[in-house]
Amino acid sequence: MKIVVTGPFESGKSTIIHNITNGNCINVEVNGTTIAMDHGVANINGMNVFLFGTPGLLRFTTMRKILSEGADGLIFVVDSSDPESDARAKLFFREVPFFLPGVPCVVAANKQDIGSARPVEELQKSMSFVAGLPMIPCSGETGQNVDSMLRTLLYLIMMQWSSVFQKFAEHSGKPNGLELLTKDLNISKQVAVGYLRKFELRKLLEVDVGDKRFVVQDNVRQFLENPVLILKK
């Protein structure tokens, strides 16, 4: 899966990616400020999660647009400890529907380890622009709740794709897998091949030469069939 981690300046995007990937990430930064991107890969129960952190300075809009291309999910990071950053978060959030329309999103209420951090109920009141989205209290610094936040997002993504994923699992390994996929989902061959390519890139499955057959990775099959399993560690 491709996950974009965005949010205003200094909210903790790079720190969260560092935590999720156990430090297996790169951050293109100048003096602690991300100027291009963060990138790292996490492995959640055998599922590859490709994380892309954006720069938080407003002027790097083009970079955020490029990083958002084809994203499956979004983590919007806000600073729970700094009420003055709320206005920046609001301004920043305006980009989201343009760059990532319809993409599942969770809000990371970060920096909960700081004594003055506001609880989620209070943040939800002052950040009405994220109403309706799951908001998860966490700390990139201590790692509190970071794993369950990512799992919540993966669950939402898999629910969004559930009708396609069910069929991936059902027809995996069959000699005429592609044909069955187009028939069951009532989609054109072109669309079905597009789905296979997309999720092959995300390492969920492998497609045979000629595209007739595909095979779902053994360890992710159970999650495609039953997404709720990803919520458990």
- Interface positions with ligand GTP (CB under 6 A): 9-15, 32-34, 55-56, 110-111, 113-114, 139-141
Q: Can you say how many angstroms the Cα of residue 63 is from the centroid of all Cα atoms in its chain?
A: 17
- Residue 85 or 182 having the CB closest to Mg ion: 85
Name which of 139 and 152 has its Cβ closer to ligand GTP: 139
221 interacts with, out of ligand GTP, Mg ion, none, CB within 5 to 8 A per kind: none
Burial class (CB in 10 A: 0-12, 13-18, 19+), 86: middle
- Of 64 and 213, nearer to ligand GTP (C-beta) is 64
How many residues bind Mg ion, per CB under 5 A?
3
Q: Does 110 bind Mg ion (CB under 5 A)?
A: no
- 129 contact, one of Mg ion, ligand GTP, none, CB 5-8 Å limit per kind: none
Closest CA relative to residue 179, chosen from 148, 134, 211: 211
CA-closest candidate to residue 205, choices 179, 177, 228: 177
Output b/e per residue, 185-217; b: 16+ Cβ within 10 A.
eeeeeeebbebbebbeebbbbebeeeeebbbbb
- How many CB atoms neighbour CB 183 within 10 A? 13
Q: How many helices (H) and strands (E) does the chain have?
A: 10, 9
Q: Is the CB of 14 or the CB of 112 nearer to Mg ion?
A: 14
Binding mask 27-56 for Mg ion (x = CB under 5 A): -------x----------------------
**Assigned token pair, 107:** 């809000």
**Mind giving me the DSSP string for 206-218?**
EE-TTSS-EEE-H
Contacted entry of Mg ion, ligand GTP, none for residue 139, CB cut-off 5 to 8 Å set by kind: ligand GTP
Q: Output the smallest distance, CB 143 to ligand GTP, in A.
A: 9
Residue 27 CB, nearest distance to Mg ion (Å)? 6
What is the closest distance, in whole angstroms, from the C-beta atom of residue 169 to ligand GTP in the complex?
36
Q: Considering only residues 14, 68, 152, 182, which one is a binding residue for Mg ion as defined by CB under 5 A?
A: 14
CB of 13 to ligand GTP, least distance (A): 4
**Least distance from ligand GTP to the Cβ atom of residue 69, Å:** 19
CA distances from 40 to 9, 22, 193, 230 (A): 19, 9, 27, 20
Tell me which residues touch Mg ion (CB under 5 A). Answer: 13-14, 34
